[in-house]
Amino acid sequence: MDFGGAPRMIATGAAQATVRTDIAIQPGSAPVELPAEKTVQSAAAGEALQLDIRARANEKRQEQAQYRQNQDDAVNRERTEAAYQKQERREAVDRRLVIDSKTHSIVLQKTDPDTGETVEQLPDETMLKLRAFSRDLIERARETTMSSSHVVERTA
């Protein structure tokens, strides 16, 4: 093996290799048998590449945390807006006290001012019907006891 920078001489009658003067032999390089136009030289090494994986991972985590925070903020804004609209709808009702004619009970009615429709009622319609039915039963029972008390029985 030839480690020198001198070109080799071939004993055959072939053309001799030309010596290139523009190539400086560097320590640790190996000679090659390539024509002058195909030879290559290593580029000078630059600064060493520094790669900090932990810093990139931290940046990625921070980006993800910021994205999640933005998503959470958007959801909270939507919930707040929905609650505000719900509160506005709740406040946009007319309240009034009415005395039910069948049961003689006081009824609180909440009505929509736009449509006039009853939104909420206390006590509800079912309870009022139950009260009216029980009042009718009580009245019938009184009538039957009153009519039977006028009868005089005479036994001999």
Domain boundaries, the chain: 52-91, 93-149
Q: How many angstroms separate the CA atoms of 75 and 66, rounded?
A: 14
Mean pLDDT by 10 residues, the chain (156 residues): 56 57 65 71 66 81 92 92 80 86 89 86 92 91 76 69
Distance of alpha carbon 32 from alpha carbon 22, whole angstroms: 15
What's the pLDDT at 115? 86
State the pLDDT at residue 85.
83
pLDDT of residue 12: 58
pTM: 0.36
| Cis status of the peptide bond prior to 27, with omega within 30 of 0 | no
Task: Supply the pLDDT for residue 148.
Answer: 65
What is the three-class DSSP state of 101?
Answer: coil
Collapsing DSSP states into helix, strand and coil, what is residue 18?
coil
Q: What's the confidence (pLDDT) of residue 127? A: 93
